[in-house]
């Protein structure tokens, strides 16, 4: 269960650092245009999501080998479910939106899309689920 706990907290740290620190701050850096920020964001979130999938697989494997509590299992399933909704359900909309903004910068003036807010909601769900799962793994 130690491997699962470590992977949960690495995953949690990555989401917090990238989604709630790097992503909002990059657009405030001097010289970062909307196009540059979107390009960086695409690369960073593609890498984050790939890393999350690997960490989720490690956690599932560790939990299959161990004997997790129902609370741990539920929390991890919520986190994985949120990730799957983001990657399969929301990211395609975000990609289309960023394509439109990259093709016509005036599209950025309409503000963030609903898909962006949905993605953020699922990030919060994921953070809470990972925090709960990680704490439960620390206290067997």
Whether residue 98 is predicted with pLDDT greater than 80 in this model: the reply is: yes
- pLDDT tens-digit profile of 33-90? 888 888 898 899 999 999 999 999 999 999 999 999 999 999 999 999 999 999 999 9
Enumerate residues 6+ apart whose C-beta is below 8 A from 49: 83, 86, 87, 91
What local confidence, expressed as pLDDT, does residue 75 receive? Answer: 98
Residue 97's pLDDT is 85
Query: Residues in the chain, how many?
Result: 140
What are the phi and psi torsion angles at 30 (to 5°)? Answer: -60, 135
Q: Is the pLDDT of residue 107 over 70?
A: no
CA angle 1, 20, 106 (to 5 degrees): 140
DSSP code string of 78-121: HHHHHHHIIIIIIHHHHHHHHHHHHH-GGGGGG---HHHHHHHH
- DSSP state letter for 33: -
Residue 108 confidence (pLDDT): 64
Query: What are the structure tokens assigned to 81, written together?
Result: 């479910």
Neighbouring C-beta atoms of residue 97, cutoff 10 Å? 19
Identify the pLDDT of residue 112. 73
* Confidence (pLDDT) at 109: 66
Cα dihedral sign, 30-42-56-126: positive
User: 104 or 92: whose pLDDT is higher?
Assistant: 92
Q: Cα(16)–Cα(13) distance, rounded to whole angstroms?
A: 5
Whole-model pTM? 0.91
pLDDT tens-digit series, residues 17-37: 999 999 888 888 898 888 888
């Amino acid at each position: 269960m130690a491997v699962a706990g470590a992977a949960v907290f690495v995953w949690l740290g990555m989401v917090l650092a990238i989604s709630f620190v790097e992503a909002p701050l990059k657009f405030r850096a001097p010289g970062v245009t909307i196009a540059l920020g979107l390009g960086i964001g695409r690369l960073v979130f593609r890498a984050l999501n790939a890393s999350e999938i690997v960490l989720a697989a490690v956690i599932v494997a560790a939990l299959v080998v161990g004997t997790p509590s129902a609370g741990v299992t539920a929390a991890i399933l919520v986190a994985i479910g949120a990730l799957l909704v983001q990657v399969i359900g929301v990211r395609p909309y975000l990609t289309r939106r960023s394509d439109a903004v990259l093709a016509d910068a005036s599209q950025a003036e309409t503000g963030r899309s609903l898909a962006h807010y949905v993605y953020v909601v699922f990030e919060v769900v994921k953070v809470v689920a990972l925090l709960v799962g990680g704490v439960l793994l620390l206290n067997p």
